[in-house]
Structure 1
Amino acid sequence: MDRIQAMQIFVQVVTQGSYSRAATLMGVPRAAATQAVQQLEARLGVRLLNRTTRHVSLTLDGDLYFQRCQVILGDLEDAESTFRAGRSLPKGRLRVDLPGSLGRLLVIPALPDFSRRYPDITLELGIRDRPVDLAREGVDCVLRAGDISDTSLVCRPIGVLEQITAASPDYLKRHGTPATPQDTAGHRMVGYPSSRTGRPYELEFVEGGILTQIAAPTSITINDAGAYIAAGVAGFGLVQGPRYHLDPLIASGQMVEVLPGVRPPAMPLSVLYPPGRHRLPRLRVFIDWLCATLAPSAVAVAAE
């Protein structure tokens, strides 16, 4: 058995959590799957898997090797897909990282359309609001809202998301409604921490082209965008977020927009991917689809 096939079997054993299921998927006897992993361990000189009668789990070395195998096998599939592109629809595995609220509210509801167009592309989605190392974690592209600081990645702008300030009716009944940005200093806000500093972002308002930042006190700080908004609904204080997320809550009466004439700055929305990856047909069609799908939610669509 060649090394590539052994890697494929190892990845399937980890993914399926079973030698038997991996062997069935790969079309080999179970004994051959077991031997393939053992040969990899002997060649590497490390144990890759912890084995019990019920399941298998990765060792620390195994976890590192598993990540590298995913990248290597993905690159191999990418090389072949590039030359198949003109003869068939794109196919293969695509790993995409999405922010929580964007993924849950905008992208995932639209994904059936993408799957109908490209049935042979298998999507693996990571939903998180923290930065991700694309190379180390084998991610093909990420969707990000906010300013982009990583210059090692290619950035394709989609547009900007309009943001608003809001609070629950109960909070405003207890604390009153601020009439100016400066009034918010006497209020409470829900904290959302910066990934760089760990400190909560300040409230931001743009008036006459001038940015004003207000550091209101916090009772709670949350590092998940969906939970951050939920804390606002629960009455913990003022929140600022994308209109697409807050508008349904305002329409249902769970939130009220505050200072509608002085809003936060719009938030850039971009797709990021490693240099050279855009040549891959499956990634190219996904990014094109994603941009077209999200453009209506952006108040201005940037040029590519």
Structure 2
Amino acid sequence: MPRRTIVTRLHSMAPSACSTSRWTPAIWLAGCRGFLARAPDTHALAPGGQLYERVAHHAPIATVAAALPTLHSDHHQSATHEGRAMERMLQAMEVFARIVECENFTRASSLLGIPKASASLLIQQLEVHLQVKLLHRTTRQVRPTPAGMTFYEHCLKILLDITDLKSKIGSAAEQASGRLRVELPGDIARQLMPYMARFRLQYPDVSLQISTPRHSSNLIRDGIDCAVRLGDLEDSIHFSRQVGTYQLITVASRLYLSRHGCPETVQNLSAHRTAHASHQSDSRPWEFGFALDGRSTRHRMPESIAFDDMDLLLQYGLQHGGVIQVWDTVAAPYLASGRLKEVLAHCRPRARPIHAVYACRTRESMALRVFVDWLSSALEDTIAPRPPATAAEERTDTAEPACALP
């Protein structure tokens, strides 16, 4: 119904001021309350409200109409209320999830860009609504209760589904832009260097801030948007996506093998000089991994020398220092040239996963999605495991003779 028609009907329902000395705007509005029940801005009907005051002073219809709240159908008002309630619940779930991840109200509210008091109020309202205690609070730390942990896990699933849905609906219109702080293992970063320029050309509005720390950072505390982790992940509150795999192989220089013999079994390695990697998140110094009879196993080696950089480890092997385990893609050019020889190829360790890890999927932007997609594609091109070389593919080098493998 047009607003002017509504106001005309309201005025027609009011008696003239002289017909009764007892008539007041309040009495008139009380009589019209059923007609106005659909008005969401009911405070306008109270003394002091715009509609009340303008009717009290017998303002023209047009003036009263300007103060009249927009009227909605009962269905629309109900839907609006439910929509706001759902939005409030989702906000509370996101705040709760971030508090669990940060273990701290102050840090979580800072990351979300809301006052700490607002975060605390949301959690209180959430606990009242659910009628259960969700968090244990101390002066130093905040931990979820058993019920809180269950609720947290369901929150993550719901928030993840919503983000995926938004991504599918809005990805066509949204442009990838913004800054990403990315943490990469140094070995991965070197492999990706030839592809970085391609990413910048494809997504010029995405800026990357890349770090290669020796030890894994705390994503939330250090503000990392995405981190690449090698090997199997421990139980974590973070989201992850497998973006590739890598394959370790056991190699040595041909000259070393000609002098010290070629190990035919894993046990034979105890009689050889070895060098190890100490920088990978899933590596264990002084141990080599293998797959025997379909099972993964680790073989303890005598302590000798370990490097926190794969390039240094590779150079040590190329200089005839001993037997090493490196990525097959790193060793590939030296295997092709004959400078290195793979040993114990029949018990290669299983390929290991590479994961992109991020703290909160609800904060995932288009920039992060396109970066992770690009990362998966680039890793497929650079370090995807390759099958062992056949005898026909191996090069024989007289200066550094090869040993025969079983």
Tell me the TM-score range normalised by the shorter chain: 0.5 to 0.7
Question: Is 1:209 the equivalent of 2:294?
Answer: yes
Partner residue of 1:102? 188
TM-aligned CA distance change 1:135 to 1:103, over 3 Å: same
Question: Is 1:261 the equivalent of 2:334?
Answer: no
Matches within 5 A, 1:267-286: 267-276=352-361, 279-286=364-371
Q: Which structure has the highest strand share of the two? A: 1
Q: Is the 8 A contact 1:278 1:284 kept in 2?
A: no
Deviations 1:94-116 (A, max 9, x none): 111111122102x2211122111
Q: Is the 8 A contact 2:273 2:321 kept in 1?
A: yes
> Could you tell me which of 227, 231, 248 is aligned with 1:163?
248
Distance 1:231 1:131 in 2: 25
Deviation at 1:187, TM superposition (A): 1.0
Over alpha carbons, which structure has the higher Rg? 2
Distance 2:253 2:353 in 1: 26
Relative contact order (alpha carbons < 8 A, sep ≥ 6): 1 or 2 greater?
A: 1
DSSP 3-state at the match of 2:320: coil
Q: Is the 8 A contact 1:188 1:218 kept in 2?
A: no
Distance 2:281 2:375 in 1: 27
Partner residue of 1:125? 210
Q: CA RMSD in A?
A: 3.2
Q: TM-score, normalised by structure 1?
A: 0.65
Question: Is 1:93 the equivalent of 2:179?
Answer: yes
Q: Is the 8 A contact 1:240 1:264 kept in 2?
A: no
Q: Is the 8 A contact 1:191 1:218 kept in 2?
A: no
Matches within 5 A, 1:25-40: none
Deviation at 1:231, TM superposition (A): 2.0
Deviation at 1:87, TM superposition (A): 5.0
Deviation at 1:290, TM superposition (A): 1.0
Partner residue of 1:6? none
DSSP 3-state at the match of 2:334: helix
Distance 2:243 2:227 in 1: 12
Q: Is the 8 A contact 1:129 1:225 kept in 2?
A: no
Q: Is the 8 A contact 2:286 2:302 kept in 1?
A: no
AA of the residue aligned to 1:228: L
Deviation at 1:200, TM superposition (A): 0.9
AA of the residue aligned to 2:355: S
Identity of aligned residues (%): 33
Distance 2:250 2:327 in 1: 9
DSSP 3-state at the match of 1:149: coil
Deviation at 1:232, TM superposition (A): 1.9
Question: Is 1:288 the equivalent of 2:385?
Answer: no
Q: Is the 8 A contact 2:274 2:323 kept in 1?
A: yes
Deviation at 1:226, TM superposition (A): 2.4
Q: Is the 8 A contact 1:192 1:223 kept in 2?
A: yes
> Could you tell me which of 323, 330, 336 is aligned with 1:245?
330
AA of the residue aligned to 1:188: R
Q: Where does the alignment leave 5 or more consecutive residues of structure 1 unmatched?
A: 1-67, 77-81
Distance 2:113 2:178 in 1: 11
TM-aligned CA distance change 1:112 to 1:74, over 3 Å: farther
Q: TM-score, normalised by structure 2?
A: 0.50
Q: Is the 8 A contact 1:190 1:220 kept in 2?
A: yes
TM-aligned CA distance change 1:251 to 1:165, over 3 Å: same
